[in-house]
Every structure is written in structure tokens, then in C-alpha cells.
Structure 1
Amino acid sequence: MNRMIISIGSNIEPFHHIKVALGKLQNHFEVLSVSSLQTTKPIGIVDQADFINGAVLATTNEDKKKVNTILKKIENEMGRDRTVPKFGPRNIDLDILIWNDEVVDDDYHTRPFLQEAVKELQSI
């Protein structure tokens, strides 16, 4: 069984999209806990709405590559627009942060809100 922490964020109807994404994650993985949600300022392109960010602790029998495929599928099902710039607005953003206690997303090291969410979930 693989244990992972997935970041979840949105700045387009964020509470609605995060709720929908959590339901979809539960359809694919065993969700053990969800961190507190934080409001964060946009990075890069600052002329956009603030983001709501958090993280999800879950387990799965799938490998990391398959999980990434599932996360991208969920984003696509929810209408994620991949034509906007990297730091542009998004209705949902899902990424594996931690895989079996190993940091696998470099953003973790530079974004305190991700570190706080992971710390909250690792204490469970």
C-alpha cells in the first residue's frame, strides 16, 4: 500500500471545485484526512484571485505514475484549462507532494503553505 499526500488548490470558485475534487479523489483512493485550507496570494501572475490551498492524505495500491495519470484525468474532467500560463488562474490543481514519506514535488521546498499542510497531515 502506498501512502501519499496530494496538494489541492483552486482560485476559480475554489470551495466548490475543491469539494468536487475531494469527491473524485475518494472514488479512486482511500482518503484518510484533509488538511486545513489556507488562502494564499497568487505566485507569478499576481493580477488574479487568491488561491485556496490544502492537502489530502490518502493510500492506494496504484503506482506513482498511475496516480499522476488519475490526478490529471480528474483535473481534465473538471475542465482544467491547460492553455493558461503556468501560474494563471485554475479551477483545480492536484499534485503529489509526498510519496511514501519522500518529497516528490520541488514546490514543497519553497511554499510554506504546502509545508504546513504536510506537517498537519503527517501528524495523523
Structure 2
Amino acid sequence: MRNRAILCLGSNWDCESNIHSAGELLRGYFCPIHFSEPVYTEPVGLPASGLFLNQAVVAYTDCCLEEVRRSLKEMEKVLGRMPDSKEKGQIPIDIDLLLWNNEILKPADWEKEYVQLLVSSAFESGQNDIRREAVSEKINMVE
């Protein structure tokens, strides 16, 4: 069964590199996968933190929810996330699973305005990919 996952990535430490690396790991795990443009946001609940770079992801998988959760936690560890990262105020990467199929898993995060904008952007990115594929197929048929 094909499952849809909506994720939100965040990093406040070596942001660009960590968001990029997380994207590469996610591309190897999910297919198809679509990303929003990354945006900087103010930290919430981490007063000593710098800005966060956030990105939304719409991804599809045949894996079950628990397997996806385990894999996302492993990706965080690979990218340097430690149990005390939040206490230190340095988050190399946070990969939050916000929605699984039609079930909202993190309502407080899901309701944030920037998250909704990023998710919309990721869906738009996916639609653009589908349009490009359709045009490419038409061109190949003509040739």
C-alpha cells in the first residue's frame, strides 16, 4: 500500500549543509518525493538559538509507519542529532513526521503558518514535476 508522509525538516546548526544532507538521505528512502524551498524561521522554545532553516517534504512509501519513524530517527543520528541537542540549543537536523496519510501526527506543528506555506510549496513542486514529466513524455513520443 502506498503511504503519504509529510515531513518538516529543521536545522539551526550548519543549516544549509544539514538540510541538503537530510534531503539526500530522504531521496534514497522515499519515492516519489517533493521538497519545498527552504526558508529561515525564528526559533520557537529555544531562546538561545539562532535562526532555523526549515523545509517541507511530501513523500510516498510502501513502508509502514513504525518503519518510517525508525528510519527518520536513524537519519537524524547519522546527521549528528544527539539526545541532548535540544538542551544545548544546537539542532543539526530535526525530521518531524507531521502527517501520515490523512492522520495529523503533530497538530501543534501542523498548525504553524510557515509549515502550511512550506507544505503548499512542496505540493506545488510535486505538481511541477508531474507537468515536466508529461511534457517530456509528449516530446519523446514526437521524436
- The answer to whether the superposition gives a TM-score over 0.5 is yes
Shift in Å, 1:118? 1.6
Shift in Å, 1:87? 8.7
Identity over aligned pairs, percent: 30
Question: Which structure carries more relative contact order (alpha carbon 8 Å, separation 6+)?
Answer: 1
Shift in Å, 1:20? 0.6
Structure 1 residues 16 and 23: CA distance shift in structure 2, 3 A: same
Shift in Å, 1:83? 1.2
SS across alignment from 1:96: strand
- Worse-matched range after superposition: 80-89 or 27-36: 80-89
- Worse-matched range after superposition: 84-93 or 70-79: 84-93
Greater helix proportion: 2
TM-score, with normalisation over the residues of structure 2? 0.78
Equivalent in the alignment of 1:108: 110
Residue type matched to 2:28 in 1? N
Greater strand proportion: 1
Structure 1 residues 85 and 21: CA distance shift in structure 2, 3 A: closer
Residues 21-54 of structure 1 deviation map (CA, whole Å, 9 limit, x = unaligned): 1111111111421012111111112222100001
The answer for unaligned runs of 5 or more in structure 1 is none
- Asked if 2 retains the 8 angstrom alpha-carbon contact of 1:39 and 1:50, the reply is yes
Shift in Å, 1:10? 0.3
For residues 57 and 86 of structure 2, what CA distance do their matches in structure 1 show?
A: 25
Q: Which runs of 4+ in 1 moved over 6 A?
A: none
Please tell me whether Structure 1 or Structure 2 has the larger radius of gyration of its CA atoms.
2
Shift in Å, 1:69? 0.4
SS across alignment from 1:85: helix
Q: Equivalent residues in 2 for 1:55-74 (5 A)? A: 55-74=56-75
Computed over aligned residues only, the root mean square deviation of the Cα atoms, in angstroms, reads 1.7
Equivalent in the alignment of 2:55: 54
Structure 1 residues 119 and 45: CA distance shift in structure 2, 3 A: same
Shift in Å, 1:99? 1.3
The answer for unaligned runs of 5 or more in structure 2 is 128-143
Structure 1 residues 37 and 72: CA distance shift in structure 2, 3 A: same
TM-score, with normalisation over the residues of structure 1? 0.89
Number of equivalent positions: 123
For residues 91 and 26 of structure 2, what CA distance do their matches in structure 1 show?
A: 18
